Amino acid sequence: MNMIQRSEKIHRASELIKHGLQSRLIANDTGLSIHSVRSLYKELEQDFPDIRQNKEAKTILTSKWRILDASLLVNLYVQLTKVDNIHHLDVNVLMDAHKLYQRLRMSIRLPQINSQNEISLNEAWLLVSEIKKENATLKNCRCGCRYLFIYDQKVSPKCPLCSLSKIS
């Protein structure tokens, strides 16, 4: 790789670091080594994101509220992507979807919409990656909700909107 290509990759990695992405995800996106990405974190005086290195997507969906949040975020990603194939992961679109998701969450005034349920950008990456690997899908409910389903998730694989409306 020539100096210009390396410079572009370092610039891209710097932008992703500023958005709080995990080292291995940045390395995956840019093609830089994990060592180079971690060195860049230190050089930029950024803290490493607080996320377990081997977190599995199924551990993200721990409640019906988290499934609802994850579904909203993944649906926004799918709507924003220009590619008809949702099996393609576009980090720029994912970051845009995450920003929109955060704005939508802030505009909703429900006590259950709290920071504990919020899906991080790193978690969003994992969830979309599961769709790309065909370990997850978006299911359609008869109520009109399109919800995220990971094949080995621990929470009941039912529409979170219907489940939550029965509780309320």
CA 60/CA 118 separation, integer angstroms? 10
Could you tell me what percent of the chain has a pLDDT over 70? 85
Report the amino acid identity of residue 136.
Answer: A
Give the total number of structural domains in the chain: 2
pLDDT of residue 3: 87
Query: Does the residue 157 lie in any domain?
Result: yes
Same domain, 66 and 118: yes
Pairing between β-strand 146-150 and β-strand 136-140 as defined by DSSP bridges: antiparallel
pTM value is 0.77
Query: Does the residue 112 lie in any domain?
Result: yes
Query: Does the residue 50 lie in any domain?
Result: no
CA 121/CA 81 separation, integer angstroms? 16
Same domain, 85 and 149: yes
pLDDT per residue as tens digits for the range 103-155: 998 887 666 666 677 898 889 988 998 888 888 999 999 999 999 999 888 78
Nearest to 102 by CA among 128, 126, 76: 76
Q: Which domain holds residue 67?
A: 57-167
Query: Does the residue 52 lie in any domain?
Result: no
